[in-house]
């Protein structure tokens, strides 16, 4: 069992942000509709979406016609933002400065002065490469991969969930 795995909320909310891209920043999409569209748990999805709201990626409008909408342009929201919102910004590798423990405890200051631990530096560099790759992919990029048929299905489905909405006759 892999201990280093992203929470499933990352997958769920990344797909939801792509849906929200389609509906813009002015038409809130209810959390329940997003859950139903993808067959997800409404309770858990709502919890995940609240994390996006707390991190300024989406706005949350309460009430009957309420829901979630993008808080800023889709090209300014990246997968790195989604990961940060769901899983925090902490490092993947925790350095506990082992090189200054045990035998080396008394020389701790001298060892630290010689520069950062190479193991920690290499781990951080790899994390930077991962995060940099994620930060180059925006919601706009992801939305471009959704086929026209799926977009139409979503549009009709969300409009039905907003009977008072402007898209309804």
Check residue 147 for interaction with its own copies (CB under 8 A): yes
* Residues whose CB is less than 8 angstroms from the CB of residue 164 and which lie 6 or more positions away in sequence, other chains included: 64, 65
φ, ψ of residue 33 in degrees (nearest 5): -70, -40
Candidates 88, 108, 160, 167: give the one binding its own copies (CB under 8 A). Answer: 88
Q: Which of residues 43-72 bind its own copies (CB under 8 A)?
A: none
**Min dist. Cβ of residue 152 to its own copies (A):** 11
CA distance 57 to 85: 8
- Token pair of 22 as six digits: 């389609």
Q: Which is nearer to its own copies, 69 or 146 (CB)?
A: 146
Q: How many residues bind its own copies (CB under 8 A)?
A: 67
Q: How far is the CB of 166 from its own copies (least distance, A)?
A: 22
* Residue placing its CB nearer to its own copies in the complex, 28 or 40: 40
Please tell me whether residue 77 binds its own copies under the rule CB under 8 A: no
Q: Which residues are at the interface with its own copies (CB under 8 A)? A: 1-8, 10-12, 14-15, 18, 36-40, 79, 87-88, 90-96, 98-99, 101-105, 107, 110-111, 114-115, 117-119, 122-123, 125-127, 129-134, 137, 141-142, 144-147, 149-150, 153-154, 157
């Amino acid at each position: 069992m892999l201990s280093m795995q992203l929470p499933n909320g990352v997958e769920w909310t990344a797909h939801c942000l792509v849906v929200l891209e389609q509906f813009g920043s002015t038409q809130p999409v209810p959390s329940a509709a997003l859950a139903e569209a993808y067959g997800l748990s409404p309770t858990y999805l709502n919890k995940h979406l609240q994390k996006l709201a707390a991190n300024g990626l989406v706005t949350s409008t309460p009430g009957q016609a309420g829901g979630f909408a993008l808080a800023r342009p889709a090209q300014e929201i990246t997968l790195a933002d989604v990961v940060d919102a769901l899983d925090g910004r902490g490092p993947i590798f925790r350095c506990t400065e082992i090189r200054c423990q045990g035998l080396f405890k008394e020389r701790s200051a001298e060892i630290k002065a010689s520069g950062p631990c190479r193991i920690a530096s290499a781990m951080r560099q790899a994390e930077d490469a991962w995060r940099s790759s994620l930060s180059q992919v925006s919601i706009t990029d992801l939305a471009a991969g959704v086929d026209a048929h799926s977009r139409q299905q979503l549009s009709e489905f969300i409009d039905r969930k907003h009977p008072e909405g402007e898209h309804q006759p």
